Amino acid sequence: MNILCIGDVVGECGVKKVQKELHHLVEQEKIDFVICNAENSADGMGITEKIFKQLQQVGVHVMTMGNHTWGKKDIFKFIGKKELLVPANYSKDAPGNRYGIYTCHGKRIGVINLIGRVDMNVLSDNPFTTVDAILKKIKNDVDIIIVDFHAEATAEKIAMGYYLDGRVNAVYGTHTHVQTADEKILPKGTAYITDIGMTGPADSVIGMSKEASLKRFVTSLPERYKVGEGEAMLNSVIISISDEDCRTIKIHRRNL
Task: Please list the active-site residues.
Answer: 68
Question: How many CB atoms within 10 Å of residue 150?
Answer: 27
Eight-state DSSP code of residue 58: T
**C-alpha dihedral (100, 253, 194, 73), degrees to nearest 10:** -50
Q: What whole-number distance in Å separates Cα of residue 203 and Cα of residue 233? A: 9
Side chain identity at residue 238, one-letter code:
I
Q: Are 3 and 238 in contact (CB under 8 A)?
A: yes
Report angle CA 129, 184, 241 to the nearest 5 degrees.
Answer: 80
Q: What whole-number distance in Å separates Cα of residue 142 and Cα of residue 217? A: 46
C-alpha separations of 208 from 10, 23, 108, 224 in Å: 9, 26, 37, 10
Which segments within the chain are labelled E, that is strand? 2-6, 8-9, 33-37, 62-64, 99-104, 107-115, 144-150, 170-174, 184-185, 191-193, 198-201, 232-241, 248-255
Q: What whole-number distance in Å separates Cα of residue 134 and Cα of residue 153? A: 23
